[in-house]
Amino acid sequence: SQTIHQWPATLVQPVGSPLSLECTVEGTSNPNLYWYRQAAGRGLQLLFYSVGIGQISSEVPQNLSASRPQDRQFILSSKKLLLSDSGFYLCAWRRSSGELFFGEGSRLTVL
């Protein structure tokens, strides 16, 4: 069966510091992968998606970037965090039937 994991689960970082959130999927090959952000009191906002290694599409211009160095690995990064980057970040993969399946999420607090 397919599983998806992301880490770290919780992160507290100062403004201006770098960020790296990692997501890996197991049990499937060449998945479509997604990064969403969930701000307090809001739904989910799509940040990036990837259809394959090295292929990244950005949905929202921002201080963040994404990379896909391996088939089942998706990384969300920032060189310098802003206060507004605080939130709950969710990685997801898309099943062939169309549904998204989410990881456990990463809570980022920027101070």
Enumerate binding residues for other proteins (CB under 8 A): 32, 34, 41-44, 46, 49-51, 55, 57, 59, 88, 90, 92, 94, 98-105, 107
Which of residues 28 and 94 has its CB atom nearest to other proteins in the complex? 94
Strand ranges inside 1-105, DSSP E = 3-7, 10-13, 19-26, 32-38, 44-52, 55-58, 65-70, 73-78, 87-94, 100-102
DSSP 83: G
Looking at the Cβ atoms of 80 and 109, the one nearer to other proteins is: 109
The least distance separating other proteins from the CB of residue 79, rounded to whole angstroms, comes to: 25
Cβ at position 98, least distance to other proteins in Å: 7
Minimum CB separation of residue 108 from other proteins in Å reads 12
